[in-house]
Chain A
Amino acid sequence: MSLQLERVGRTFAGKAAVQDVSFRAEPGEIIGLLGTSGCGKSTLLRAISGLDTEFDGLIEINNKKVDDIQKTTGFMFQEPRLLPWLNVLDNVTFGLEGNREEKKKKAGRYLESVGLADSEKLYPKQLSGGMAQRVAIARALATSPEILLLDEPFSALDAFTKMQLQDLLLEVWRSYQSTMVLVTHDVDEAAYLCDRIIVLRGQPGKVEREITITEPRPRERGSSEQAAYKAEILASLDLTTDTA
């Protein structure tokens, strides 16, 4: 599924948070939205999701204007946001339709792919942060979204869990081929996961640069190519003048 943004902006109470963002995501592409905090990354993502419809400009999914929540779009939040009164299995089946057996089977498959097949009966309070986020991944994938929006999905996790889940995400991406838009402030994550990185800067945030990462997957963390991309990203963020 393709996604198109044309001159998208959002103003909160007269103050522009993000302005003039245009880009296009081809089916199966992983796009990174990268920028320092407050430059409107998450605002953009909420606009794409349809949770926020007060934006300016045009957003199209498969050449159809977005003005409401789309069934084909999945959203993964910064926090797991599991429903505490449902167990793991019921959380994953939450957005599914159809009869119970089918839903269970489907959810079971996704739980297996995130490595939690034997935790179906646990409640969110019994999960660690990494486990809860993996359930959230399974839940986001279970509805087979054609576009998956990820809002700093791994930012609250420790470095090791983060790497594991990034690889897991790539793995499920390979088998389901969703188009993904990943909001992040983590340069390593962006360089490791994305096909294209859109760097936002300033307040209100504007597109500073677009960086295409041609390095084929699987990529190696810490390779010289990765280091070069990271240097390029950091240079375009131009953090020195920001702090001055």
Chain B
Amino acid sequence: MAKNQSEVSGVFTTGSKSQPSTIKPKSPFTHPLLLGSIFPALLVVVWELLSRSEVFPAYQLPAPSVILETIVGMAEDGTLWGHVGITFYRVLMGFLLGTAAAVVLGSLVGFYKHAEALFDPLIQAFRSIPSLAWVPLFILWMGIGEPSKIAMIAVGVFFPVYLNIVSGISGVDRKLIEVGKMYGLNTFQLVRRIILPAALPSFLVGLRSGLGLGWMFVVAAELMGASQGLGYLLVVGQNTLAPETIIASIVLFAVIGKLSDWVLKKLETRTLHWQDRAAKS
């Protein structure tokens, strides 16, 4: 059985090996990038047409070209970079802080039974609190400035990273650990040479979902009170009845959110190339 499985996967991988990374299209029309842009492009064209013919009123849903102009305008007068920069900075700091805390606690809980008994119930209890409920308290404690926002994002990032580290470490195959033991590895060597690499896939999944939550929480944090940032643009758009500003901000969120996720995904494919995953046809 095991033999059969590995033979099947052997066929898969040698197949994908001779056609590196993406599945080579037979004709240029089935290129994944092209296939993926058909619907977005159609949507934008239809939207533009409907907005121009005033089916959508401009004060509710401006045309894509108007939104693009708004973004270009902000880029030209320089305000765009400030907004994007500060939002990016907040997410990055919150992400790093949340991840660091999750790595420390998650490793402890994953490795030591007693640490699990000690910390895990409390962490699970905190997890059941909707994270946004912390906002007023954080503002009360740390004021309306950067610290409360970054703390907010860190809380959001913490839980998925923590949960994935714990499950990654405790899910390491006992059989592989035995191999390490048979070669006389001590605990530290076991961690470094077997447990960490084996838990890496799960850790990276945690990082990606943590980053996603980070982008969610930055919006919440900036809506609460900020003088700069993409979330602040949303509030400005609402108060000045400028839907193009709101949508421009949403588009920017989508673009940089996607970009940051892409970086992590690249990291994942580079470090996890050894994983035996089925190729899609």
Are B10 and A81 in contact, CB atoms less than 8 angstroms apart? Answer: no
Give bound CA distance, A130 to B10, whole Å: 12
Fill in one digit per residue for B1-44: 1 if any A CB lies within 8 Å of its CB, else 0.
11110110110011001000000000000000000000000000
**A69 in complex: contacting residue of B3, B13, B17, B182, CB < 8 Å:** B182
Name B's interface SS: helix
B194 to chain A, nearest CB (A): 7
Are A49 and B276 in contact, CB atoms less than 8 angstroms apart? Answer: no
Q: Give the segment of A72-80, A111-119, A182-190 that binds chain B.
A: A72-80
**A84 in complex: contacting residue of B3, B182, B274, CB < 8 Å:** B274
Residues in B whose Cβ lies below 8 Å from that of A156: 1-3
Name A's interface SS: loop
Within 8 A of B (CB), among A106-143: 123-130, 132, 143
B183 on the A face (CB < 8 A): yes
B266 on the A face (CB < 8 A): no
Are B176 and A81 in contact, CB atoms less than 8 angstroms apart? Answer: yes
B127 on the A face (CB < 8 A): no
B239 on the A face (CB < 8 A): no
Fill in one digit per residue for B192-232: 1 if any A CB lies within 8 Å of its CB, else 0.
01100110100000000000000000000000000000000
A40 to chain B, nearest CB (A): 18
Which has the most chain A C-beta neighbours within 10 Å: B9, B178, B183, B200?
A: B183
B121 on the A face (CB < 8 A): no
A158 on the B face (CB < 8 A): yes
**B6 in complex: contacting residue of A51, A129, A158, CB < 8 Å:** A129
Fill in one digit per residue for B168-189: 1 if any A CB lies within 8 Å of its CB, else 0.
0000000110110111100000
Residues in B whose Cβ lies below 8 Å from that of A158: 3
**A83 in complex: contacting residue of B6, B182, B194, CB < 8 Å:** B194
A157 on the B face (CB < 8 A): yes
Are B3 and A128 in contact, CB atoms less than 8 angstroms apart? Answer: yes
Given A85-B274, A156-B1, A127 and B6 contact (CB-CB distance below 8 Å): yes
**B175 in complex: contacting residue of A81, A86, A126, CB < 8 Å:** A81
A105 on the B face (CB < 8 A): no
Are B175 and A79 in contact, CB atoms less than 8 angstroms apart? Answer: yes
Q: Please name the residue on chain B nearest to A78 by beta carbon.
A: B2
**A71 in complex: contacting residue of B175, B176, B178, B184, CB < 8 Å:** B184
Are A75 and B182 in contact, CB atoms less than 8 angstroms apart? Answer: yes
Residues in B whose Cβ lies below 8 Å from that of A86: 274
B275 on the A face (CB < 8 A): yes
A22 to chain B, nearest CB (A): 25
Are B17 and A126 in contact, CB atoms less than 8 angstroms apart? Answer: yes
A173 on the B face (CB < 8 A): no
Are B3 and A126 in contact, CB atoms less than 8 angstroms apart? Answer: no
A95 on the B face (CB < 8 A): yes
Give bound CA distance, A132 to B181, whole Å: 20
Give bound CA distance, A196 to B197, whole Å: 41
Give bound CA distance, A93 to B25, whole Å: 40
Residues in B whose Cβ lies below 8 Å from that of A95: 182-184
Residues in B whose Cβ lies below 8 Å from that of A71: 184
Are B13 and A126 in contact, CB atoms less than 8 angstroms apart? Answer: yes
Within 8 A of B (CB), among A147-200: 156-158, 161
Residues in B whose Cβ lies below 8 Å from that of A143: 183
Fill in one digit per residue for B240-281: 1 if any A CB lies within 8 Å of its CB, else 0.
000000000000000000000000000000000111100000
**B9 in complex: contacting residue of A75, A125, A157, CB < 8 Å:** A125
Given contacts A86-B274, A95-B182, A124-B276, 5 further A-B contacts (CB under 8 A): A71-B184, A75-B182, A81-B179, A85-B197, A94-B193
24 A–B contacts, CB within 8 A, in A order: A51-B178, A51-B182, A75-B182, A77-B175, A77-B179, A79-B175, A81-B178, A81-B179, A83-B194, A84-B276, A85-B197, A85-B200, A85-B274, A94-B193, A124-B274, A125-B9, A125-B13, A125-B275, A128-B10, A129-B4, A156-B1, A156-B2, A157-B3, A158-B3
Name A residues whose Cβ lies closer than 8 Å to a Cβ of B.
Answer: 49, 51, 69, 71, 73-75, 77, 79, 81, 83-86, 94-95, 123-130, 132, 143, 156-158, 161
